[in-house]
Amino acid sequence: MAKVVSLDNLLASVAARRSEAAPWLGALIDAASEKFAHVGLPNRRIEAWRYSDLAKALHETVKVESDLDAPPALAEACVAAFENGVLDDSKSSYCAMGAQSLRKVLAEKDSPFAGIIGRINPQADHPIINLNTALMEEGLVLHVPKGVTLATPLHLRFNWSGVDAASADGRHLRILVVLDEDAEATLFESHDGAPSFATVVTELSLAPNSKLTHVRLENFAAAARQTAATVGSVGEKAAYRGFYFSQGGHFARHEALMKLAGEEADARIDAAYMVADKRHCDNTTVMDHAVPNTTSTQVFRGVLAGSSRGVYQGCVKVAQAAQKTDARQLSRAMLLSHRAEIVTKPELEIFADDVKCSHGATAGELDANALFFLRARGIPEAEARAMLVEAFLIEAMDTVENEAMRAIVIACAHTWMLRHAGEASHVE
């Protein structure tokens, strides 16, 4: 049975933690604690949380299934295994690539990460990032030195199972990845099981000419409640390649907050979400173009069945100095039921005139022409529909370059299709 995570419990924990912090962290934690205490848990009256009321979701009772999926195994990766929010060294191999546990870093009297953590792309008013900063304990720090290319991916494996998945103040995990100039790395993040309440903040610092590939999988059980944020800064000629897959949860939200901070920086995100039953899946992106000549692309595709709700909020900001910005965004959603809902809010906030910015959003059913074509070749309607639903998402998945990861992603989609075959093959 899950314990209730309440604001009071959180505030008590925040107060307790403040007094324990190392001196180099004190100011950061104090500021975050005060801001969090002031705003509290986000609810729908806050514009950015209008369609994802976390405060309400935490009050609802959830039933944790007993039969949870096992997390995916990625061959030839260094693993950081988090079991119920705690880094389990017996299942991990992250040391091989020079990563260290956050617990160890936080305990040090001084730290080379003092000016980095919480300051890569500061989100001073973000209630959840503030909460995470105030309560972060477990996590991982990876620093890739100049000119180094990590041959093996780092697999951040978050798995939540059994009674330990619940705690009165949630679990707050922090990942810090710092790529120096000309460095390259691949991050594979998987989230499985059912956290009763978790926040995960992944901070990414990409120095000039570095490249990070980031594949993120949320394969939560129906009872999962998590809100995560990937917060990054992309330097000159650096590239961020993200692929996100999610099947939602009781409350599953992920935000990608990227700052294009150096000229010719590029950020590209492709995403697929498949949501069924009463699940909630929120994808939020904010691309902040701060300097001239940067590019960003987001392509989000979603399939919504049952009584699920999908949210895509995508904001592109172009600062006055950020001339020659090229930003594109596309959201496509397919509804498979009269009880499902999609909410899209693609926002442009532009202060520079010599830019190319566009967004497109569509919602609807399968393409009637394609459906007829398949049926005219003898493929029964139900099968033709399922084929088109899967095809719709495979386009996004094909952008994953690493073959092993792509296979895992496609397998996730396939499993979902098999579980929800009835819903995918006709409209309720």
Partner 1 sequence: MLEIKDLHVNVFGKEILKGLSLTVPPGEVHAIMGPNGAGKSTTSYTLAGRAGYEVTGGEIDFYGEDVTALSPEERAAKGIFLAFQYPMEIPGVSTMNFLKTAMNAQAKLRNEPELDAAQFLRTVRAAAKELNISEDMLKRPLNVGFSGGEKKRNETLQMALLKPRLAILDEMDSGLDIDALKLVAEGVNKLRAPDRSFLVITHYQRLLDYIVPDVIHILSGGKIVMSGDKSLALQLEENGYDAVINKAA
Partner 2 sequence: MSEETDTLQDLADQKYKYGFVSEIESDFAPKGLNEDVIRFISAKKDEPDWLLQYRLDAYRRWLTLEEPTWAKLDYPRIDFQDAYYYAAPKSDSDKPKSIDEVDPELLRVYEKLGIPLHEQEVLAGVEQRKVAVDAVFDSVSVVTTFKEELSKVGVIFCPISEALKTHPELVKQYLGTVVPASDNFYATLNAAVFSEGSFVYIPPGVRCPMELSTYFRINAAKSGQFERTLIIADKGSYVSYLEGCTAPQRDENQLHAAVVELIAMEDAEIKYSTVQNWYPGDENGKGGIYNFVTKRGDCRGDRSKISWTQVETGSAITWKYPSCVLRGDNSVGEFYSIAIANNFQQADTGTKMLHLGKNTSSRIISKGISAGKAQNTYRGLVSIHAKADGARNFTQCDSLLLGDQCGAHTVPYIQSRNPKAILEHEATTSKISDDQLFYCLSRGIPTEEAVALIVNGFCREVLQQLPMEFAVEAQKLVGISLEGSVG
Binding partner at 359 among partner 2, partner 1, none, C-beta below 5 to 8 Å by kind: partner 2
3-state secondary structure of 64: coil
Is 12 or 391 the residue whose CB approaches partner 1 more closely?
A: 391
Instruction: Please report, as a single letter, which amino acid is at residue 161.
Output: S
Q: How far is CA 202 from CA 169, 177, 327, 344, 404, in A?
A: 20, 8, 23, 24, 23
Q: How far is the CB of 240 from partner 1 (least distance, A)?
A: 25
Minimum CB separation of residue 279 from partner 1 in Å reads 23
| 20, 61, 376, 403: which one binds partner 1 (CB under 8 A) | 376
Q: How far is the CB of 361 from partner 1 (least distance, A)?
A: 18
Taking the complex as a whole, how short is the minimal distance between the CB of residue 271 and partner 2, in angstroms?
17
- Tokens in use for 254? 């992920």
Report the distance separating Cα 343 and Cα 363, nearest Å: 9
Please choose which of partner 1, partner 2, none residue 287 contacts, taking the beta carbon within 5 to 8 angstroms, the exact cut-off set by kind. Answer: none
375 scored as a contact of partner 1 (CB under 8 A): yes
- Which residue from 44, 28, 47, 25 is spatially nearest to 36, judged by alpha carbons? 28
Cβ contacts of 298 within 8 Å, gap of 6 or more: 268, 269, 270, 271, 285, 287, 314, 328, 329, 330, 331
The nearer residue to partner 1, 65 or 398, going by C-beta atoms, is 398
**With respect to partner 1, which residue has the nearer C-beta, 164 or 383?**
383
Measured from the CB atom, the residue of 379 and 404 that comes closer to partner 1 is 379
| Contact residue for partner 1 among 1, 23, 368, 403 (CB under 8 A) | 368
Q: Closest CB to partner 2 among 86 and 348?
A: 348
CB nearer partner 1, residue 349 or residue 383: 383
The single residue listed with the structure tokens 């190319």 is: 356
What gap in Å lies between CA 79 and CA 20, rounded to an integer? 29
Nearer to partner 1, 328 or 375 (CB): 375
User: Taking CB within 5 to 8 Å according to partner kind, which of partner 2, partner 1, none is near residue 350?
Assistant: partner 2
- Give the position of tokens 């830019």: 355
**Closest to partner 1 by CB, 89 or 395:** 395
Q: Write the DSSP string, 341-391.
A: EEEEEEEEEE--SS-EEEEEEEEE---HHHHHHHHHTT--HHHHHHHHHHH
Which among 240, 184, 179 has a CA at the least distance from the CA of 205? 179
* Residue 348, contacted partner among partner 2, partner 1, none, CB below 5-8 A by kind: partner 2
Residues in contact with partner 2 by CB under 8 A are: 47, 320, 323, 333-365, 427-428
**How far apart, in Å, are the Cα atoms of 226 and each of 193, 258, 369?**
11, 20, 39
β-sheet bridge partners, residue 24 = none
Among 66, 90, 320, 369, binds partner 1 (CB under 8 A): 369
Minimum CB distance to partner 2, residue 291 (Å)? 14
Using the minimum distance from each CB to partner 1, give the nearer residue, 383 or 401. Answer: 383
Q: Which of partner 2, partner 1, none sits in contact with 388, Cβ below 5 to 8 A by type?
A: partner 1
Residue 149 interface partner, choices partner 1, partner 2, none, CB cut-off 5-8 Å depending on type: none
Kindly tell me the burial class for residue 289, based on how many C-beta atoms sit within 10 Å of its own C-beta (0-12, 13-18, 19 or more): buried
Q: Which of 296, 179, 310 is nearest to 242 (CA)?
A: 296
Q: With contact defined as beta carbons under 8 Å apart, do 121 and 287 qualify?
A: no
In whole angstroms, what is the distance from residue 310 CA to residue 343 CA?
Answer: 6
392 binds, among partner 2, partner 1, none (CB under 5 to 8 A by kind): partner 1
Binding mask 112-141 for partner 1 (x = CB under 8 A): ------------------------------
Chain residues 380-399 in contact with partner 1, contact rule CB under 8 A: 380-381, 383-384, 387-388, 390-395, 398
Binding site for partner 1 (CB under 8 A): 368-370, 372-381, 383-384, 387-388, 390-395, 398
